[in-house]
A and B are shown apart, each in its own frame.
Chain A
Amino acid sequence: MRGTIKVFLAGREVELPWNTLVGELYRMLDVSRWSTLLLVNGRPRADDSYLSEGDVVTWLRITYHESPRERSGEDR
């Protein structure tokens, strides 16, 4: 049974459950999907796409928008 996958998130290797969806990453990263576009291997992906072992995830800010964490001044 598969347990976890390793993906590269903003240059760092992180371990995630094997069935993690792209849409779930927005919640994990605490970023709004209306201000940020997550790219998987440089391409946009539907929210209900599964991440795979070795995927490289980056994000693109599409507009200015503060997340609760940004609002409180905590550095991400």
Chain B
Amino acid sequence: MRKCDLCGLNEAVYTDLSSGISICADCLMKSVRRRAWRVLREELIPGDRVMVAHSGGKDSSLALLLTKEFADSHPEMKLSLLSVTVDEGTFYRRASVELAKRLASELGVRHRTYAMEEIHGLSIEELDFKLPANWKRSPCTYCGVLRRQALNAIAREIGATVVVTGHNLDDLVQTAAMNLSRGDINALVKTLRHERKIGEGLIPRIRPLKMVYEREVATLVVAKGIPAHLGKCPFTQGMRIGIRREIDDLEDEIPGSKVKALQTFSLISNGLHADVQLRRCRICGEPTTTEVCKACQFKRELSSLLNRDLVHPLNLERVRRDRDVVWG
């Protein structure tokens, strides 16, 4: 049995190629916890109402677990936690919603599920059925925009002061590289800089796994038996796949390059001025930088295809009713 290089006791489950050491699940958990808690310590403030965007996938499940551990270990911070799943209405999501509920229950964290169909009036599965094969966008493109808007609106209406997401190091390096390749400085700054006041109606985000490799997350979830869905979304498409491949190839050539890239992107973004003028969408009232937000632009595009009017404010009635009960 290949023993852990750190504790010398347990079987090694993960090799860090930049340092060359192999470690066991317990030592990997300690290392990941240290990195995640550093982010939480720096970015949470006492009394925060923390909504964890919890899909039930491996990343958000680990983010929930580590945030819960942090809250329990820091009672003086008086943090309140809530796990929220946006169910996009795909067969892929069904399994993960059940796992999200299970983990939240095991951790003693309140959990709520809101369906995208309820909030936006359409599900991604419906889109997948009805989008013509040669349609200009994939369901993945619509899903990303609609899900992000729904999560922010839910957080705001349910009274959260901050949203924790499961974005990992790989996600952030890919997003930063995509922003750079599009020349989108505002998006680069928004991705990498944590700011408490980002504009009326926008809830700040914290990414505790931002210095954790996706591979470390997957290894921990399997080795520790953390309830989480490990499948990959069948709708994943687009520019990200190509960028991911290039970044992964670079990491194989130069181990540690993802960490260095994220640190460098963050330094660059700190010196940049984001020119973002937030306003309210003329149609739905959600925060946006344009007159009509991207979600409404997309829903306008889909209304004719689905033969019904989707362009209206989000339905957040149930979220508002939950506001008074979920924080305990």
Contacts and interface: CB of A to CB of B under 8 A. Distances in A.
A47 B245 contact: no
Contacts of B248: 32, 34-35, 65
Contacts of A32: 245, 248, 252
A62 B230 contact: yes
A63 B251 contact: no
Interface string B12-56: 111101000011010000000000000000000000000000000
A2 to B, nearest CB: 18
Contacts of A37: 215, 218-219, 222
Nearest to A60: B230
Contacts of B22: 46-49
A32 B14 CA distance: 15
Contacts of B214: 34, 62-63
A50 B270 CA distance: 45
B239 interface: no
Contact of A45 (B2, B17, B218): B2
B223 interface: yes
Contacts of B58: 62
A47 to B, nearest CB: 4
A44 B219 contact: yes
A46 B215 contact: no
Nearest to A33: B215
Interface residues of A, number: 22
A44 B236 CA distance: 25
A46 to B, nearest CB: 4
A48 B170 contact: no
Interface string A26-46: 000000111101010001111
Contacts of B12: 45-46, 48-49
B11 interface: yes
A15 interface: no
Contacts of B215: 33-34, 37, 62
A66 B245 contact: yes
Contacts of B230: 60, 62
A19 B145 CA distance: 49
Given A34-B170, A34-B248, A43 B222 contact: yes
Interface in B173-230: 214-215, 218-219, 222-223, 230
A63 B245 CA distance: 11
Interface of A: 23, 32-35, 37, 39, 43-50, 60-66
10 tightest A-B contacts by CB?
Answer: A46-B22, A46-B12, A47-B15, A49-B2, A34-B248, A62-B218, A44-B13, A64-B236, A46-B15, A44-B219
13 contacts: A33-B215, A34-B244, A37-B218, A37-B219, A37-B222, A44-B223, A46-B22, A47-B17, A48-B22, A60-B222, A63-B214, A65-B248, A66-B241
Given A34-B214, A49-B1, A49-B2, 16 more contacts: A23-B15, A35-B248, A37-B215, A37-B219, A39-B222, A43-B13, A44-B219, A44-B223, A45-B12, A46-B14, A46-B22, A60-B222, A62-B215, A62-B230, A64-B236, A66-B245
